[in-house]
Amino acid sequence: MIWLPFGFFATAVLYASVGFGGGSTYNALLALAHTDYRALPILALSCNILVVTGSCIRFARAKQVPWRGALMLALIAAPLAFLGGLTPIKEKAFLLTLGASLIFAGLALLLPRAMDSETKPTPLARWVPFAAAPLGYLAGLVGIGGGIFLAPLLHLTRWNSARRIAATTSLFILINSLTGLAGQLIKAGAGRFVQTLDSGIWLLVAVVIGGQIGSLLALRLLPEKVIRWLTAALTLWAGGQLLLK
């Protein structure tokens, strides 16, 4: 569909500006465009990588990445993301899982965010690593990088400052997307994998351009709260449509 690259471009701009990859919204747009379900995680994870790489570089240069904690969460999740990418799944089960994931992602976007001044962790912060593994598996299975679920948990437990949470989320998405995509490559085979990326080349180009604009310029077309609410509305609607089918 001709509108799809423009949707991917806008998603990349907005998500890169706040440190996310956009996997949930890419999946929502692809599902609405009736894309082959087997292509969804491959395209969404590839777009995640292209977008959050710039965000990770930006946060690293600004010395905002809490490396020890961020790598701990990412490395717990990475093997499960690879396993999720490898897992065979039927279309009905995939769409059901994706639909439910989009519903939860939309609800997660509506949760409150910590302020930069709120840096004292709550007692629940020590339990956050236990959530990393299932989020990694989900990332590899359906192509949602997991950051959209991780970030609300980090904010609710005041795991760190808002900027460091965004940096942690970016690194988490990048590593999960890389390992999840590796699993998808093995499962799909090199031929189908390359064919999928080739058919979605304009989507990849769109997110490269959009991600660079959002990441390098830290563009804010709308307040972050408005971006989250609009994205929540889209993901909730798309998730609902998939579940109803």
pLDDT in tens, the chain (245 residues): 688 999 999 888 888 877 778 888 898 889 888 899 899 999 999 999 999 998 888 889 889 899 999 999 999 999 999 999 999 999 889 888 988 988 888 888 787 765 555 568 888 888 999 999 999 999 899 988 888 888 888 888 888 887 888 889 999 999 999 999 999 999 999 999 999 999 999 999 999 999 888 766 655 555 667 767 777 787 788 788 778 76
| Nearest C-alpha neighbor of 136 from the set 94, 101, 184, 176 | 176
Q: Tell me if 222 sits within 8 A of 14, measured CB to CB.
A: yes
Count how many domains the chain has: 1
- Output Rg (C-alpha) for the chain, integer angstroms: 16
Contact between 77 and 132 (Cβ < 8 Å): yes
Which residue in the block uniquely carries the two structure tokens 């949602």?
144
Please report where in the chains the tokens 């990088």 appear, as a residue: 145
Single pTM value for the model: 0.87
CB-based contact 213:13 (threshold 8 Å):
yes
Cα 44 to Cα 231: distance, rounded to the nearest angstrom = 16
Residue 59 lies in domain:
4-244
